[in-house]
Amino acid sequence: MPPSKTRRGRRSGKDRAQENASETTCVWLDGHCRGTDNRGKSFSTLDSWWKRYTKNAPAKCANAKPSSSTSKEKKPSDDWYSVCERYWERVEATNNGMLGGFPDISSIDLASSYKFLTSLLKVNDATVGTESNRHNKRAIDVGAGIGRITSGLLAKIFDQTDLVEQSQSFVDRARLELKQLINAGKIGSIYCSNLRDFSFEHSYDLIWIQWVLMYLLDIDLISFLKRAKQALESGGMIVIKENHTHSGFYADTEDGSVIRSDDHFKLLFKAAGLNLVAEETQLNNFLDQLFPIKAYALN
């Protein structure tokens, strides 16, 4: 969702979502679990939290059925998404802004992502970007921000990379940051769109989604992942890299994000019809400052 990307590892402060164990124990009931928000309030379900901050919001639980409506009329959930949009309008278009004040994690993040991705593609430094690889033709960077992952990872492996980012100011900055890659033909289409309305125009060997799904309600997240699956080339995959709690959820009313548990993510993947191929916890050196970060490969 919104530009989202929070190209930012979320601060845990000792994992505030876990401060009250009795309230944050994951309780599965029709896809719901308990959690807290940044104001210290506890909620019995994630749906109840969304309803608390979204006017008359309909059910947004993980097993809710996405609407088939294509109407552009204002929906109750738009009120919540506007929280995120306003937040990112105030963020500077720099790596520091994208990473939420943790710019030092960028190089480590990219290195861990490179290792994870190349192991999945079964390539190495000698074969990256060569014709010996069948599945390194086209990728898309979802929640691309100013192009940090495109330039630092995807463009090094794939022939061409597309970007999708909601913030126009970030898109404009990305065009500047990626100018050399654009001139070299390494950058394809750059879309300015939120993920709720985004439709894939191409098929991809890789759809890379990082630090952006936290801004989507469950029902919209499932719908997006279903569209992403349909946009995969034969043998292609989706990689998702997100923060997670140990149990329950942690919601932030400041930027409109929800940190979900690992179990919650896997429930969402299943609802979207995706198969989990591989998973890996990353950025271990920063886990005392951030919520745990995990990469998932799916198809």
* pLDDT at residue 289, as a whole number: 59
pLDDT of the chain along its 299 residues, tens only?
A: 333 333 344 444 334 334 333 333 333 334 447 898 998 999 888 878 877 776 534 344 444 444 444 445 656 577 778 888 888 888 898 888 888 877 888 999 999 999 999 999 885 444 455 555 556 899 999 999 999 999 999 999 999 999 999 999 999 999 999 999 999 999 999 999 999 999 999 999 999 999 999 999 889 999 999 999 999 999 999 999 999 998 889 998 888 889 999 999 999 999 999 999 999 998 765 555 578 899 999 99
How many structural domains are present in the chain? 1
Range of the domain at 194: 16-298
Helical residues (DSSP H) of the chain, grouped into ranges: 21-24, 46-53, 76-89, 95-98, 105-121, 148-149, 155-157, 168-177, 179-183, 218-230, 262-271
Domain-embedded: residue 4: no
Domain-embedded: residue 81: yes
Domain-embedded: residue 97: yes
Domain-embedded: residue 7: no
pTM score of the predicted model: 0.82
First vs last Cα of the chain: how many Å apart? 21
Domain-embedded: residue 10: no
The CATH code of the domain that includes 232 is 3.40.50.150
